[in-house]
Structure 1
Amino acid sequence: MKQFKLIFILLFSVSILISCSSDSSDTNETEVLNPLEAYEALNISYGDDSDQVFDLYLPANRTTATKTIILIHGGGWTSGDKTDMNPYKTFLKDQMPNYAVVNINYRLADENNQAYPMQINDITSVVNFLKDNKINYTISDDIGFVGVSAGAHLSLLWSYAFDTDNQTKMVCSVVGPTNFTDPAYLDNLNNVFFQEIINTFGINPTTNYLEEVSPYHNVTAEAPPTILFYGAIDPLIPTTQGTAMRDRLEELNVIHEFTLYPLEGHGWSGLNLLDTTIKLQLFIETHL
């Protein structure tokens, strides 16, 4: 029954979901919170920029083994907000109440601030903040990621190339770009989305640079279990972004799951969304 209720919670697109934001607070815990009680705090600052904040949701009866799921919103690296991921937060709290949830904002790219490495550094700062406060929060170091679109790209790239302590136990990409050297992009310079990528990550970047910021070129056999969801008629993300990533994970014997919805684009609802949430829940519970 709860799963069908979820369809109404996640009524719109997987990739662009709007919800109302709650009252904010700027909190950095210095005292150990009561682990028997649930705790929520919005807009906890992890840096000096106004975009460097996250929302924290701690479950009741947590222990030092409690795992954390980090949500990363999309928006082409230049827009979007953590409130876009609130339906995922609601789903996780409702269906998986034993996990802590962190829903982050990160600094957005503009003409003066390139997405990379700025946004990767922000994820590192969040992870370090959680590690520094794990005693206060009563949580473990183990984390998982759920990212959508640009947020999925950041989730994969950080997990594959920047998780030096191997904290990531699973990562989920929903319609995330994986390979900026994909011929579907490079051979189609009329692709508006790819031009936005070029502008966001740097003017006329070299192939080596495009590889550096591509999860596909950074994944290794030590990568965490990965679950991928893509739409076959996505106007922004070529199908090869998902299938090539799937094939690379298979070559490296990395635990993975891949779902391609034949009639979906850059987001979906209804029964396919229900399918996504069921698969995601099982994957998280199995690997995180």
Structure 2
Amino acid sequence: MIGMISCSSSEVETSPKQEDNQEEQPLPLTATTLTDVAYGQHPQQKYDLYLPADRSSSRTKVLVLVHGGGWIEGDKSSMTPFIDLIKERHPDHAIVNMNYVLATPVPVVPAFPNQFLDIDRVVEKLVAEKEALQILPEFGMIGTSAGAHLSLMYDFVYDEGDRIKFVVDIVGPTDFTHPFFSEDPNFELALSLFVDESQYPTGTDYAKATSPVFQVNPQSSPVALFYGDQDPLVPLDNGVALDSALTANGIPHDFTIYSGGHGDDWGEADILDLQEKISGFIREYLLVD
């Protein structure tokens, strides 16, 4: 930002009206991209920030992208198609494309609640820097697979300030008590490695505590759900269960089922439909006036 500059009274004698006319107005802000911005000490706690031209702290709302990868792999680079879509259709929005600390078995680095809290760190940093960045801290979240699960959990449980205005859930797991997960021979071991039990009360049912379908409440944000009817990684029943929970709590939502699996084999018409519905959610729940 360029500060207001006026002539010194010791150099030129002017009237107040003349001084006002001589003041320089701030130049319009240009589009800016900041890559690998740190929001913590871990090397994976980084995000890319895309700031639009002519932004302001009174109108420039923010879209947060959260990648998938089974909580143990993946990278923000996989969300590039969503960046391109937003820039084309919603050029007045800021975009945050974030990484989070991936879970590992050796040494043990749990996913939950660490990854939920990583989202919170990003949101809180952006809120604290809203004037410097010239953004309005109202957020929409777009998550794929594990990233959709994290986005839903963040909104349903951790967004105490109601800063999230909608969530796009693309093939996100929502119910770890479903037999698809719970009857897997490795499920209990995976759960013990994924959950930091010290961060939950004694006696917690960790499968339920980390399942978005059991966390839906009347304050939850609107959700756009997209699932495949032959998904080998996340059963369609998880989408159906979340649809029912949102309906029971009176949460506006849209549930779309495509023919195919985990999104990578959806047809061109389905991808175009998904893009249009995401744009519709942005226009309805995160409109930049």
**Equivalent residue pairs, number:** 254
Secondary structure of the structure 1 residue equivalent to 2:219: coil
Deviations 1:118-167 (A, max 9, x none): 11111111001101110011111100100000000000000110001000
TM-score of the pair, normalised by structure 1: 0.83
Superposed displacement of residue 86, structure 1? 1.0
Whichever of the two has the greater Rg, that structure is: 2
Q: Which residue is 2:274 aligned to? A: 276
After the TM superposition, which residues 118-137 of structure 1 pair with which residues of structure 2 at under 5 Å, given as runs?
Answer: 118-137=114-133
2:137 alignment counterpart: 141
Say if 2:148 is the partner of 1:155: no
2:112 — aligned with what?
A: 116
Matches within 5 A, 1:194-233: 197-198=190-191, 200-202=193-195, 208-233=205-230
The aligned residue for residue 18 of structure 2 is none
Q: CA RMSD in A?
A: 2.2
What CA distance in whole angstroms lies between the structure 2 residues aligned with 1:196 and 1:41? Answer: 39
What SS does structure 1 have at the residue aligned with 2:255?
A: strand
Find the counterpart in structure 1 of residue 95 from structure 2: 101
Which structure would you say has the larger RCO, counting Cα contacts within 8 Å and 6 or more residues apart? Answer: 1
Partner of 1:90: 84
Given that 1:184 and 1:240 are in contact with CA atoms closer than 8 Å, whether structure 2 keeps it comes out as no
Query: Structure 2: 5+ residue runs without aligned partners?
Result: 4-25
The verdict on how the C-alpha distance between 1:34 and 1:160 changes in structure 2, with shifts beyond 3 A counting, is: farther
- The percent of aligned pairs where both chains have the same amino acid is 39
The offset of 1:87, in angstroms, is: 1.1
Aligned to 1:172: 168
- TM-score, normalising length from structure 2? 0.83
SS at match of 2:151: helix
Offset of 1:210 from its aligned partner? 1.1
Partner of 2:177: 181
Pairwise CA distance, 1:195: 6.7
Shift of 1:200: 4.5
User: Is contact 1:68-1:139 (8 Å) kept?
Assistant: yes
Alpha-carbon distance in 1 for matches of 2:233, 2:188: 11
Q: Do the aligned partners of 1:116 and 1:201 also contact (CA within 8 Å) in 2?
A: yes
Which of 262, 284, 287 lines up with 2:285 in the alignment?
A: 287
Distance 1:125 1:237 in 2: 28
Contact kept in structure 2, 1:77 and 1:109, CA below 8 Å: yes
One-letter amino acid matched to 1:241: N
Quick one: which amino acid aligns to residue 184 of structure 2? L
Q: CA deviation at 1:61?
A: 1.4
- Cα distance in 2 between the residues matched to 1:238 and 1:34: 52
- Do the aligned partners of residues 224 and 45 (structure 1) sit closer, same or farther apart at CA in structure 2, a change above 3 Å counting? same
What CA distance in whole angstroms lies between the structure 1 residues aligned with 2:88 and 2:36? 21
Q: Which amino acid aligns with 1:99?
A: H
